[in-house]
Structure 1
Amino acid sequence: MAFIDCHFYSDSLGVSASMYVILPQAAQNQIGLASAVYGVKHPTLYLLHGLSDDHTIWMRRTSIERYASKLGIAVVMPAVNRSFYTDMASGPKYWTFISEELPALARSFFPLAEDRELNYVAGLSMGGYGAMKLALSHPDRFAAAASLSGALDISDRALNFPDDFKLIYDDVSKIKGSGNDLFYLADQLSGSTRQSPMLYQCCGTEDFLYEDNIRFRDYCRELGMDLTYEEEPGEHEWGYWDRKIQNVLNWLPLPARP
């Protein structure tokens, strides 16, 4: 794999932004690392961070490079600060950045596939919310989305982070039934003719977000969405996420390599 620490200017944010990118490499003699590639353009996983983290965290806390290498997929890990992947009421437009600008820039910099069937998104905690928001808002762009211990009931979470949410949403009473509400997005998608992405969701039973996850799981099941759900004993911590990101990678609907 190739590892790139990428810094670039963002028009939507108005400042320089950062992302880590790992790219497949067809290495023949690298010791201890299995390598695979699909072709000229790589299947891509956008991997999102949580509230207290940044774009470096997946590389620091897991072996994501080693896990992705044998599958032959690229992984894009952007930084979005404490934005909840939203155009902030009192701050930068992080939803525009993550949903529109970042994919276009990443594809201009690196050989990343544009096809829906070769694009996926995943994240933990706040990033789990961001992953589901991206896939449910743009099902034409992502074949699959995964949430690890996601903050999926955002209107309920607003009570826990009042300072952040005031800056992000201004009036938190407007979250429910809006494009920031995953329950609303799931409902809108299920009632449309658009193809729904495959969804994966996991949460530890001792996680403080467990009840949020149960509510979202049950709602998606009621709508008949293609949801894979896993739970086991676990808390909101990296040992759990390091194990589960491996499950996510194995679950992704990657096409057969040529």
Structure 2
Amino acid sequence: MAFLQCEFHSDVLGRACSMNVLVPQKAATQIGMVSSGEDGRAEYPVLYLLHGLSDNHTIWMRRTSIERYAAAYGLVVVMPAGERGFYTDMAEGYRYWTMLSEELPQIVRNLFPVSTKREETFAAGLSMGGYGALKLALRCPERFAGAVALSPVTDPRSWFANGERPGMREELTRIFGSEERIVANGDDLFTLADDLLGSGKPKPRILQICGTEDGLLQENHRFRNHMEKIHFPGYCYIEDAGSHTWEFWDHYIQDGLRFLLDKEA
């Protein structure tokens, strides 16, 4: 795999941005890792891999072996910086959702050998990034075939209604505006799932994973229960011992890649 640290300009955000990108490379002398490149292949499947609230675009490379895991599938992995914006067009601030969902894929296609096929385009992330991955799948189902959400934020409305994150109230208001705006702005995952189910649009496969000791477990249960209640096709849920840690995410991103890319999984 080739590892590229990319600085690019976003017209949507009006400033310079960063992303790390893994690209398959055919190599004959690499020790300890199988080459992931293919002769004559012009395009590879692509995964948009999103970070959590306290991290940035470097974190997946620093905390996991995502390069080795992706190499087994000949997969381009795009890891963009999303700041603390919840991958949302903020009520007061930047349009992170528009950048992520519309601008970034076009930039990636222009710069890297990625497939434009729906069946070869995926999203994944942890915590805040899990929320972003689910939103990509549910709001852009014509372009994303599947998503993996590790310990995801699933219910930001409850953070307003129940005061679950009292220390973040001011920041959440800048991001989402209000509980009502979350629905009106297309940022409520429950409403997105309902609307997509009732439409004629394709349905992405979704894998949601959470640890039994995770602080986000209750809202993960709420989203799981909702997806099972509406019988969303291709939806899977895994719960296992663990908490909001990189040990958990490093382990389960491997299950996520199998879910998305193994034809027999």
TM-score of the aligned structures, taking structure 1 as reference length: 0.96
- 2:245 paired residue number: 237
Task: Tell me how far apart the structure 2 counterparts of residues 84 and 151 of structure 1 sit (CA, whole Å).
Answer: 9
Contact persistence 1:85–1:94 (CA under 8 A): yes
Q: CA deviation at 1:177?
A: 5.8
Q: Aligned runs of 1:41-60 on 2, under 5 Å? A: 41-60=43-62
SS of match in other structure, 1:47: strand
Instruction: Give RMSD over aligned pairs.
Output: 1.4
Counterpart contact for 2:4–2:21, Cα < 8 Å:
yes
Residue 26 (structure 1) aligned with residue 33 (structure 2): no
SS state at 1:16 partner: strand
CA contact (8 A) 1:118 1:254 kept: no
Unaligned runs of 5+ in 1: none
**Structure 2 counterpart of 1:253:** 261
Number of residue pairs matched by the alignment? 256
Deviation at 1:222, TM superposition (A): 1.5
Question: Could you tell me the TM-score, scaled by structure 2's length?
Answer: 0.93
The 5 A counterparts of 1:50-199 are 50-158=52-160, 159=163, 160=165, 161-176=168-183, 178-199=185-206
Give 5+ residue unaligned stretches, structure 2. none
Alpha-carbon distance between aligned partners in 1 of 2:107 and 2:51, rounded to the nearest angstrom: 19
1-side partners of 2:82 and 2:223: how far apart? 24
Task: Give the stretch that moved more between structures: 220-229 or 15-24.
Answer: 220-229
Distance in 2 between residues matched to 1:151 and 1:177, nearest whole Å: 18
User: Which deviates further from its counterpart, 244-253 or 151-160?
Assistant: 151-160
Contact 1:124–1:148 (8 Å) recurs in 2: yes
Partner of 1:28, secondary structure, is: coil
Quote the residue 1:4 is aligned against: 4
Task: Report the alpha carbon displacement of residue 205 of structure 1 after superposing the two structures with TM.
Answer: 0.6
Runs of 4+ in structure 1 over 4 Å off: none
Q: Does the aligned pair in 2 maintain the 1:87–1:94 contact within 8 Å?
A: yes
More moved, 129-138 vs 163-172: 163-172
- Seq. identity, %: 50
* Distance in 1 between residues matched to 2:37 and 2:171, nearest whole Å: 41
User: Whole-Å Cα distance in 1 between the matches of residues 154 and 205 of structure 2?
Assistant: 16
Task: Give 1:255 deviation, angstroms.
Answer: 6.1
Kept after mapping to 2: 8 A contact 1:200/1:227: yes
- Residues 120-143 of structure 1 show CA distances to partners (whole Å, capped at 9, x for unaligned) of 000000000000001100100011
**Equivalent position of 1:15 in the other structure:** 15
Find out whether 1:213 has 2:215 as its counterpart: no
Inter-partner Cα distance in structure 2 for 1:73 and 1:22: 8
Distance 2:127 2:42 in 1: 33
Tell me, in whole angstroms, the C-alpha distance in 1 between the residues paired with 2:209 and 2:105.
26
